[in-house]
Structure 1
């Protein structure tokens, strides 16, 4: 990902929180000679020896899974809020742009055993069920339902490189920066309001 220094994020704690909060990713590799992407939830974890990994799964019927190779490099793209920025909000002539937050994660693929797959499913389900009134537990599902676990390929990605970008009008002076925030906050769009909030953090 192209990241000018002005927009580069190297705050490790902030990046990890972003990956945790925005876990629905696009998984990309080479499949049958073409770039292939799958939308799938990934969970950020730490191994016993302190390495950062992502865990997840996709359908066995997905051609991407059929082409998975142990140790191959794979890319996961995580998107956060984003919003169009109109240059009519500036006090001078300029071009429109787009503000956004995104993280690209590169890593080495390892396929999981069936037992490891079940543990991975437990962590994923627990993460997203924790706020439910009657949370689902993988260990409470029937044997018939759990047969579906035979239809997936689970994996972990040992993270080798992280590219994190926060493009939030850092190149604007305080007056125009605030003008942009004001317009975004007056929007009915959830992403625009979130971008405004992130812009405030950068100048706080």
Structure 2
């Protein structure tokens, strides 16, 4: 991913938090030179000093068969994004687009059954914890779970490289930056408001 220096993010904790918050991503591998992509929810875990992206896909999805011979898998995570009008600047300029994106590279391998169960248990706890009647692993019948496990393939990706870009008008002067936030907050798009919130948080940290 091309990342100009103004927009490059290297803080591992910040990137980890972004992945946790924007966990629905895209995994890309290749088969005979042709890219294959699947859109999935992912997990992030740290074992000793290594990070792993985890997930699962349908057994009928042929992409998991590429893991053995594909040197690297690419997982892409995207946050909010919004159009930035150049009419919001105090000088003549062209429009652009603000966004947050993280690319993770690493070797993918298949999870053992106990690892897959652990990963699914954690995922259910993450997404069900605030519900009135949470659907957790130990609440589901063993027969149902065993049958469902036969239909999926779990995998993990040992992270080798991370590329993170937050294009949030960091290259603009403070007056333009603040005006962009104000203009985005007045837009009707939820993504525009989310970008404005992210930009505003970064502005507060600079003060």
State the TM bucket, normalised to the shorter chain: over 0.9
The residue that corresponds to 1:165 in the other structure is: 165
For residues 37-116 of structure 1, the aligned pairs below 5 Å read 37-47=37-47, 49-69=48-68, 72-116=71-115
1:48-76 alpha-carbon deviations (Å, 9 max, x no partner):
x2311111100111121232217731110
Q: Alpha carbons of 1:71 and 1:138: their partners in 2 closer, same or farther (altered >3 Å)?
A: farther
The residue that corresponds to 2:26 in the other structure is: 26
Distance 1:71 1:171 in 2: 38
Segments of structure 2 that go 5 or more residues without pairing to the other structure are none
What TM-score comes out, normalization by structure 1 length?
0.94
Q: Report the aligned-residue RMSD.
A: 1.4
The residue that corresponds to 1:14 in the other structure is: 14
Distance 1:120 1:19 in 2: 16
Assess if the C-alpha contact under 8 Å between 1:27 and 1:37 holds in 2.
yes
Higher deviation after alignment, 34-43 or 192-201: 192-201
| Partner-residue secondary structure (3-state), 1:46 | strand
Assess if the C-alpha contact under 8 Å between 2:29 and 2:70 holds in 1.
no
Distance 2:170 2:124 in 1: 38
Q: Alpha carbons of 1:71 and 1:122: their partners in 2 closer, same or farther (altered >3 Å)?
A: farther
Assess if the C-alpha contact under 8 Å between 1:23 and 1:42 holds in 2.
yes
Assess if the C-alpha contact under 8 Å between 1:100 and 1:195 holds in 2.
yes
Count of equivalent residues: 203
